[in-house]
Structures are given as structure tokens and as C-alpha cells.
Amino acid sequence: MSKIYRILLLFNANKIYDREILEGVGKFISSTKVDWEVYVEDDYLIDRSSINDWYGDGIIADLDDPDIADTLAGSTIPIVGIGSSYEHRKDYPHFPYVATDNRAIIELAVDHLTQRGLTSLAFYGANPSSYNRWAREREKAFISITKERGYNSSVFRGFDTTARNWNFCMNRVTDWVQQLPKPVGIVSVTDARARHIIQACANMEILVPENVAVIGIDNDDIARSLNKISLSSVAQNGNELGYVAAQKLHQMLLENTNVSELTKIGPLRIHERQSSDFHAINHPLIMTALHFIRVNVNKGIKSYHVFDELNVSRSKLEALFKSELGTTVHDQIFTIRLKKACQLLKSKNKSIDEIAELSGYPSTQYMYSVFSKKLGMTPKEYREKDHESV
């Protein structure tokens, strides 16, 4: 009978990054049939006392937390760390380590914005501390990439927010966004911080993405669901991080097996949504109209709602749309509604009936008809195809 290895997982699964890593470890276990007995806290939060009480065979740990790294430093148990990549080799822990490639993440986000014609860029980061060194690494990568490519750029770290200081923090974000040249593309260090930008723009009636295009990092469903404007985001490859870390630990548990000290894993993909759907538009009336459509498309609006909101004649606005966009107001509503439905279908936490309603379709049957005519497939087939491609 083969030996059963007892493995401790040290992750705070209140974050999507850590949850995906745990899923990746699970995929390694199920796909290889290794004999692992895994221990993780019932609330999926790290209990540091469990580190000293652990007498198992191996550990996979989030080493972005310096306290955990320090506690594990003298351990004789095989350990694989997961966490941020660093500019300098000396900053890595003295364990086999699987790193999320911060430069590759930022490069993907910058490419996404510049490919849409944005040449003024900004980065909204976080106050540096020993617990978020990854934020500083992403900031340094942004500064390096924009300098190499000759883009105008700005960096703002903001403040650590609490319920008590929220108004002060948002006022500072607002001040910063207000003084940026427009249009501008902002890379936010996380989706949670990207929400600050979208809220600040709403408070100042700055149009997103027409004046400020925003992209976050993590593809966190919770952060995205709390905005009127759906948030574009870079998805980290957490599943691969967890899988590779488990693979390394398995090799270490086998006698006389060497493992590489460092493996970097790049991002999975960009989820493109409304917040970065920037197109260079000259006329302010068109920018306002498109913003109104994006924010209200779920209400089943029609062309006349746009004319009424902007207090402009149909003929004038239609002529502007035709000259600048080569399309009609009705066609833009149709396109934006279809994009919203497609974005919602990429998540499996809503039914197709709910998505039809949230996208502003008069009925589910009507949405099915639109998908059949425009995409040659049903909404269900679109959802299945998207998940097969991930």
C-alpha cells in the first residue's frame, strides 16, 4: 500500500486569487490520483497556530504574508511557496516557489489600453507594506513599461480605506482622477481598487470609458458586481499556480527528486467589459449618449429614451452617430445589449432568464432569437463554448 501524505494548505480563501490556487491543488490531486490527505481550516482562513502544530509531510503556503514566511523559515518539512514575482532575486524566499508574473500582468493590461488608442496612462496602486509587496512590484512594472514605450503616465497609491476614512480617501482619488489628462486609461492594482476609480468618476460625472477607461486585476466577481459599469479585468492563472505548486511538492516528497527553485506563471487572459471599451470619439454629445446607453441598457431602453435624456432631436443625434460611428442609435443599443448578455453568460452564477432581464431584453425568447440571428448559436451554446475555451 502506498504512503498517504498529509499536506497543509495555508491560504486565505476570502480572496479569489487564493480560491483559484486551492482549486488548482485540487485538480492536481484528482488528475494524478496522488495519496494526499489535505488539511485546510474549516473557514478557509489561515490560523498561524496550525503551522507550529503541524506534524504532516508537506506544506503549500501563501508567502505573500511575511509572517507565514518567517514562521516557516526554520521548518524541516518540504515546503512550496506561492506568491508575487519580484524584480530582484534576493527578494524571493528560500523555498521552491511558484510566482504570479506581475510584469506580464501589467504588460497585458497596458497593451489592452494602448491598443484602443490611449496614450495617456495611469496606475492606481496601494500603500506599500510588507503584506502587499506585490502591489509595489506591479507599480514598478507599470512605471518601467510605460517609460520604455514613451507613454505619458501617472501613479497614485491612495490610502488604506476604512469605514471611518472612506470619504477622505474617495476625495483624494477624485482629486487625482480630475487632474489627469483625458482621455486616460487607468490600470488598477486590484479589482477592489478599480471600484474606487469608477465610483470617483460617477461622483464627478466623468464618463467611463469615454473619458476614463479602467482595467483591474483578479477578475473578482464580487468587486465587479458592485459597479453599474461592468469592469474589465486581468485574470491571474490561479489554477495553474496551484497545480504547479502541488506538482513541485509531490516531486519533493519522492526521494532523490530535484525541483526547480522558481517558476513564473503569466496571467490567464483579459476579460473585456464596459469599463475599458474605449473608442476615440470627438463629439461630447456622442460620448454622453453612449454612456447613458451603457448604464441604462438593462432597463430595456429604446432610441427615444436617449433623445429625451439628452434633450436633442432625433435627426441631429442620428446624424452625429452616422458621421462619427457609422451606425445608428438603435444599432448601438442593440450592440451594447448583446455585449452585456455575452459578458453575463461567461459567469455561471446567473440563469439565462435572469441574464435576459439584466440585459434589457423584453423576454428570454427574444434574446434567443437575437443570438441565433447574430451569433448563429443559442445563449446556452455560447456559454458552453466560452467555458470550453478557457
Summarize pLDDT for 72-120 with one digit per residue, the tens. 887 888 999 999 999 998 899 888 999 999 999 999 999 999 998 899 9
pLDDT at 130: 87
Distance between CA atoms of 202 and 185, rounded to whole angstroms? 16
pLDDT at 25: 96
pLDDT at 86: 95
In this structure, of 195-199, 315-319, 321-325, the range with the lowest mean pLDDT score is 321-325
Tell me: cis bond preceding 183? Omega within 30 of 0 counts: yes
Distance between CA atoms of 224 and 229, rounded to whole angstroms? 8
The reply to whether 284-389 shares the fold of 102-235+272-276 is: no
pLDDT at 389: 46
What count of other Cβ atoms lies within 10 Å of the Cβ of residue 350? 13
5-100+237-268: CATH homologous superfamily? Response regulator (3.40.50.2300)
Residue 296's identity, in one-letter code, is: N
pLDDT of residue 258 exceeding 70: no
Cα separation values, 188 from 157, 196, 211, 266, 272, Å:
10, 9, 16, 18, 15
Distance between CA atoms of 14 and 109, rounded to whole angstroms? 24
User: Which residues, including other chains, have CB under 8 Å from residue 31's CB and lie 6 or more apart?
Assistant: none
The pLDDT tens digits for 192-211 are 999 999 999 999 989 999 99
C-alpha atoms less than 13 angstroms from C-alpha of 32 in its C-beta half-sphere: 15
- Rounded to the nearest integer, the mean pLDDT of the chain is 90
Q: Give me the mean pLDDT over the 12-20 stretch.
A: 88
The pLDDT tens digits for 363-372 are 999 999 999 9
Q: Give me the mean pLDDT over the 31-39 stretch.
A: 90
Domain 102-235+272-276 has CATH 3.30.43.10: no
In this structure, of 181-190, 209-218, 252-261, 326-335, the range with the lowest mean pLDDT score is 252-261
Q: Give me the mean pLDDT over the 232-259 stretch.
A: 90
pLDDT confidence band for 346 (50 / 70 / 90): confident
Tell me the CATH class for 284-389: mainly alpha
The pLDDT tens digits for 119-169 are 999 999 999 898 899 999 999 999 999 999 999 899 999 999 999 999 999
Q: What pTM, to 2 d.p., does this model score?
A: 0.81
% of residues, the chain, pLDDT over 70: 97
% of residues, the chain, pLDDT over 90: 68
The ranges assigned to domains in the chain are 5-100+237-268, 102-235+272-276, 284-389
Q: Which three cell numbers stand for residue 142?
A: 507599470
Distance between CA atoms of 338 and 47, rounded to whole angstroms? 45
Cα separation values, 303 from 165, 281, 319, Å:
42, 20, 14
The pLDDT tens digits for 52-75 are 777 889 999 999 988 888 888 878
pLDDT confidence band for 283 (50 / 70 / 90): confident
Q: Which three cell numbers stand for residue 231?
A: 469592469
Nearest Cα neighbor of 60 from 16, 100, 6 is 6
